[in-house]
Amino acid sequence: MRAVTTSGGGVVVTDRPDPEPGVGQILVRVRAAGLNGADLLQARGLYPAPPGWPPDIPGMEMAGEVVSTGPGATRFSTGDRVMAVVGGGAQAELALVHEREAMPVPEGLGWAPAGGLPEVFTTAHDALFTQAGLRAGERLCVSGAAGGVGTAAVQLGVAAGALVTGSVRSADRRDQVAGLGATAIDPEAMEKAGPFDVILELVGAPNLGADLNALATGGRISVIGIGAGAVGEINLGILMARRARIHGSTLRARPLEGKAAAARLLEAHVLPLFETGRLTVPVEAKFSIEDAPAAYEHFAAGGKFGKVVLTAG
């Protein structure tokens, strides 16, 4: 099979042996695989794959058709359209995933959006509802709302009946974020736009001071992105006065049980909204797997709206 592999701080496309499904696994012919910030970090040697996943084939999400099933795998059949969050190896013509981590592709959804759906919508749904307990009528601010997780979070918040604000640095992207149902603002206006019950922090530590100042009493800050930095200083007095919470989470390194539980929640509460057209996956750009180096360069340049996706087959 052809696969994207890490090399010298970047990626190249090489031939690799076809994988074989083990107990409970399915082998998927990948039709599309989304790019994420973690892939860039892995290519630079800064974010290794969890144990048991390909160490040098990046890719955390994919969609495709089941080619074969391993012993004990009965949830899907050959030819089924599936998608999944994986620990690595998605950016290849073939990929393995445990059947419990896989989800059916919603009816009518094309390969490119399906390939860019699992990681960002699972991450956003878990952070907003499982972690932060977002409720209808609450005020949500998504910091870094134009990217893959940001556009997912905005739509999920709107669908849940929250009042959503999207913080977007690029003026060119604010109208697009507003088109998803949010009030789009410059990050400098965040404190004035508050107070917010939930703040989804996708940018990093430099934003935490403003996040706290914009937080309502009893508010929650969910940190799931640190691209702008992981270390910062906050005023614990404000945190105490607000009776607030700050928590963080990651998805990639969770054990099978954790990923399977998140997948079932997505199947129950989110995937039906794709079938009705309530949710979409904005795809900013598509590249063939052979053009993976160019896709990584495009992703790293920033300023995108939605997903960058690799396609195969």
Q: What percent of the chain has pLDDT over 70?
A: 100
| pLDDT for the residue 225 | 87
The reported pTM is 0.94
* 230 has a pLDDT exceeding 90: no
- The rounded Cα 134 to chain-centroid distance in angstroms is 18
Query: Would you place residue 228 in the very low, low, confident or very high pLDDT band (cuts 50, 70, 90)?
Result: confident
CA-CA distance, 28 to 15, in Å (whole number)?
Answer: 17
Q: Which of the 8 DSSP states describes residue 131?
A: I
* 205 has a pLDDT exceeding 90: no
Query: Would you place residue 3 in the very low, low, confident or very high pLDDT band (cuts 50, 70, 90)?
Result: very high
CA-CA distance, 59 to 117, in Å (whole number)?
Answer: 13
Domains in the chain: ranges and CATH: 2-117+281-311 (3.90.180.10), 120-248 (3.90.180.10)
User: Quick one: average pLDDT of 190-205?
Assistant: 94
User: Quick one: average pLDDT of 204-228?
Assistant: 92
User: Quick one: average pLDDT of 164-187?
Assistant: 95
Which residues, 6+ apart, have CB-to-CB distance to 67 below 8 Å?
Answer: 27, 28, 29, 78, 94
User: Quick one: average pLDDT of 84-107?
Assistant: 97
The residue with tokens 């973690």 is 38
Which residues, 6+ apart, have CB-to-CB distance to 135 below 8 Å?
Answer: 160, 162, 197
* 192 has a pLDDT exceeding 90: yes
* 189 has a pLDDT exceeding 80: yes
* 274 has a pLDDT exceeding 90: yes
Mean pLDDT of the chain: 95
| pLDDT for the residue 253 | 82
| pLDDT for the residue 251 | 85
| pLDDT for the residue 247 | 93
| pLDDT for the residue 250 | 86
* 313 has a pLDDT exceeding 80: no
